[in-house]
Amino acid sequence: MKKTLLATAVVGLLSMSSAHAATVLGFKVGADYWQADTTNSFNDDSGVAHSFDDDSAQGSIWFAIEHPLPFVPNVKIRQNSLESSSDISNADFTFNGNYFSGDVSVTNDLNNTDFMLYYEILDNDLVSVDLGAAYKLMSGSLRVNDAGHPEEVDIDSGVVMGYASAQVGMVGLGLFGFADVLLGIDESNVYDYGAGLGWQFDGLAVDTSIRVGYREFNFDVSNFSDVSQNTSFKGAFAGVELVF
């Protein structure tokens, strides 16, 4: 009888521990499709700006880990695929030491990865607020091409940024509003923000959120990885997030 009671108690404790761990340790994964209007300008070797525009699809994927440890920040990593390209007619400039004339094509690759560390300041059914810091690591390039010689400069430096995220929900409806903001600290003219509405559908093991909104990424830098440019991606996006 004692062995039976002991076994029952152990099983009960293990079940309670497993359920508790499932509620305090969370994983999130998501993806966004972003239809962005893009404006670009870059400086040639003499400091003269050259502009071109584009309208193309961009995308982001991310995952986050949230835990109950009080002094250890939560972690979110987001990969952003951003690229814009167009043609410039009647070119007459020098870029990266080479002279370009006539018709040239320019590709501005601003792929980057956000590494975010944050704390949950509020976390309830009505309001949630996260605050922290981020590092946006660029992994792109600026390419100028003509029939004679393409030139490419890697854009591979990083930007230290402040991070904030907020969500306001309507209990019982699954509807919520959200906003995410990254603001450059060492590069004050670099920012990345999004805001919109979402609908959450609760499941037994996985909660699913559908999100729509507006996002803008501004990258206005001087001599960043030896490139000076002012580029903006902005437009509507739609995506999905899974919470385990």
Question: Which helix (H) or strand (E) segment is 16 a member of?
Answer: helix 2-24
Confidence of residue 10 (pLDDT cuts 50, 70, 90): very low
The model's pLDDT over 68-100, given as tens digits with 9 standing for 90+, comes to 898 999 999 999 999 999 999 999 999 999 999
In terms of residues, how long is the chain?
244
Taking 90 as the threshold, does the pLDDT of residue 186 lie above it?
yes
Instruction: Say how many C-beta atoms besides its own lie within 10 A of residue 91's C-beta.
Output: 19
Determine the pLDDT at residue 2: 37
Give the model's pLDDT for residue 171: 80
Share of the chain above pLDDT 70, in %: 91
| Verdict on whether the full-model pTM lies above 0.85 | yes
Q: Which two tokens stand for residue 77?
A: 């990593």
Higher pLDDT, 149 or 178: 178
Domains of the chain and CATH, by start: 24-243 (2.40.128)
For residue range 144-154, list pLDDT tens digits in order. Answer: 998 878 899 99
pLDDT at res. 120: 94
**pLDDT above 50 for 130:** yes
If pLDDT is split at 50, 70 and 90, which confidence band does 16 have?
Answer: very low
Q: What's the DSSP call for residue 5?
A: H
Contact 28, 243 (CB under 8 A): yes
Residue 10, amino acid = V
Q: Is residue 6 scored above 60 in pLDDT?
A: no
Amino acid at 78: R
Average pLDDT, the chain: 90
What pLDDT was estimated at residue 85?
94
According to the model, what pLDDT value does residue 125 have? Answer: 82
Confidence of residue 203 (pLDDT cuts 50, 70, 90): confident
pLDDT tens digits for range 20-56: 333 478 999 999 999 999 999 999 999 999 999 999 9
Cα-Cα end-to-end distance for the chain: 39
